[in-house]
Each structure stands twice: as structure tokens, then as C-alpha cells.
Amino acid sequence: MKRVRVIPVLLLSQKGMVKTKAFSKPHYLGDPINAVKIFNEKMTDELVLLDIEATTKGKIEFNWIEDIVSEAFMPIAYGGGISSVEQCLEIFARGVEKVVINTAAVERPDLISEVAERCGSQAVVVSIDAQRNLWKQWKACIRGAHKQSKYSPAELAVACERLGAGEIMLTSVPREGSFSGYDVDLLQSVTSAVGIPVIAHGGAGKIADFVPAVIEGGASAVAAGSMFVFAARGEGMLINYPNQAELKTRFWDVVAK
């Protein structure tokens, strides 16, 4: 059976776990250590942790990251506030497999090649936050989607692949937290431009949403935030993750056809 990774994305802020909608209005959910423990028990494929405050604060909470990941026996990627190789090495030393680079991919792209040469491409995920500008063109954004770069998501992805990125996580900013499904055209524009795996993110509300991301969007993995931390749209917090049987019948088998 061909498996496609299903990855919860947890947002961190103020030493807690939060959830946003279209990158705004962070809503406090609880303790990420507990959440990670539950995802571990549910044998989650992989986790992405993003500290949405770290770039603004100019500080990475290394000890806290170590506490969060020490009981997680799955691959973990961490992003937020990363601007130097030394920080990456420190993050890896704390028990994290991959670093997620967003703002630095535009402001200091050499960081990608420096980390890839030192630790391998598989350790470098470039996260591209895509938003439309006034002329409806997709642009890659940085600094928590507060600043638009001059690159289209595909242009930035190609440049990062050339520098040695091992994976791209592509987020549709308008779809984030919307439960309305992935933006398949946006995904397709990036997956057709690069050879490395692309993780779809932004908009997933149900397992059925994963299918077009892979078949039409060309994604190699799917990620979601709200879907795995809320019981349902508009409802309360409930850490959840589909079991193997659900993933097999409603996702992997459908994609394989």
C-alpha cells in the first residue's frame, strides 16, 4: 500500500498552542506538550511545529522545543525565527529532524544551502506562504504573511530547490483555518515547477480534501492544523487524527486508483 504522509501543523505562541484563521486572530488552545503526547499515541506520521511569534520576538525557545519533542517518536519539523546555521544545529541537537525556513528563504537564502550542506537536504523544509496581491497574482509572503516578496510561489520554490531545500510546504494564506479544502491550482503551479516533495497546507477540513491535493495538485504529503485540533468547524478543541483504516479506505486507496 502506497502511503501519503498526513501531517498535523501546530502553531505555538506565548508558550501555548494556538490556532489562527488566514494567519490572524490567534486563539489559545492549550499546552502543546499534551497535544504532542496525544498525536504520539495516535501514531501520527509526522509533526510540524511553528512558533508564529519567534521571528517578531527574535528568539527561539530551545528548551521549550526540547520539552515538546522529547516524547515524540515520529519525525518533527520546527519553524519560527530561524536565521542562522548555529540555530539550526541547536534545534537538531534538541531532538528535531527538520527545520522550517520561511522569512529567511527570502531575506537570507544562503542559509538554505549552508544547512543543506551541513545536515543534508532532507533536514530543510522551505515553507512558502502564498497570498494574492491586488492584481490577483499569487506571491510568496514572509514575516507571518505581513510582507509580500516579489516572487511567485513557484519562483521561490524553484530557487530554494536549487539552493538545496529538501521539501516545500506550501500554505494558502486565505484558506488557512477555513475548512474549505486545499487550493489545488496553487499547489499544481508549484508541484509542476520542482522535483522535490511538496506538502499541501491550508484549508483541509476532512479526509476527502486530501485526495485532490495529491491527484490534481501533485502534493507528496498533506498537512492541516484546524482539522486535527478542533472537533469540527466552529466547535471546541479536540486533538484528533484519522486511524489507519480510515486513511487507507478514504485516502490512500482512492489516490492509488
Partner 1 sequence: MIGIIDYGLGNLRSIQNMLRRAGTNAVISSDRDVLAKCERLILPGVGHFRYGMERLRERDLVDFLDQRALEARVPLLGICLGAQLLGRHSEEGDTHGLGWIPMNTVAFDKRRLAQGERVPHMSWTDTICKAHPLFKGIAEPRFYYVHSFHFACDHPDDIICEATHGYRFASGVARNNVMGVQFHPEKSHIFGRQLLRNWIMMNFERR
Neighbours of 134 (CB within 10 A): 6
Nearer to partner 1, 179 or 251 (CB): 251
**Nearer Cβ to partner 1 (45/155):** 45
Least separation in angstroms between residue 134's CB and partner 1 is 35
Binding site for partner 1 (CB under 8 A): 1, 3-5, 40, 43, 45-46, 70-71, 73-75, 92-97, 117-123, 166-167, 195-197, 214, 218, 220-221
User: Which residues lie across from 200 on neighbouring strands?
Assistant: 170, 222
In the bound complex, what is the minimum distance in angstroms from residue 46's beta carbon to partner 1?
Answer: 8
- Which of residues 106 and 116 has its CB atom nearest to partner 1 in the complex? 116
How near is the Cβ of 1 to partner 1 at its closest, in Å?
Answer: 6
In this structure, the strands spanning 124-132 and 138-142 are antiparallel
Helices (H) and strands (E) in the chain, counts: 12, 12
DSSP 92-152: HHTT--EEEESHHHHH-THHHHHHHHHH-GGGEEEEEEEEE-TTS-EEEEETTTTEE-SS-
Q: Are 188 and 217 in contact (CB under 8 A)?
A: yes
Report the nearest approach of partner 1 to the CB of residue 214 (Å).
8
Q: Which residues are catalytic?
A: 129
**What is the rounded radius of gyration, in angstroms, for the C-alpha atoms of the chain?**
17
11 or 168, CB closer to partner 1?
168
Which residue, 30 or 120, has its beta carbon nearer to partner 1? 120
Q: How far is the CB of 18 from partner 1 (least distance, A)?
A: 26
For residue 227 the three cell numbers come to: 482539522
**Do the strands 147-148 and 167-172 form a parallel or antiparallel pair, or are they unpaired?**
unpaired
Segment (H or E) for 226 = helix 226-229
Instruction: Tell me the CA end-to-end span of the chain in Å, nearest whole number.
Output: 11
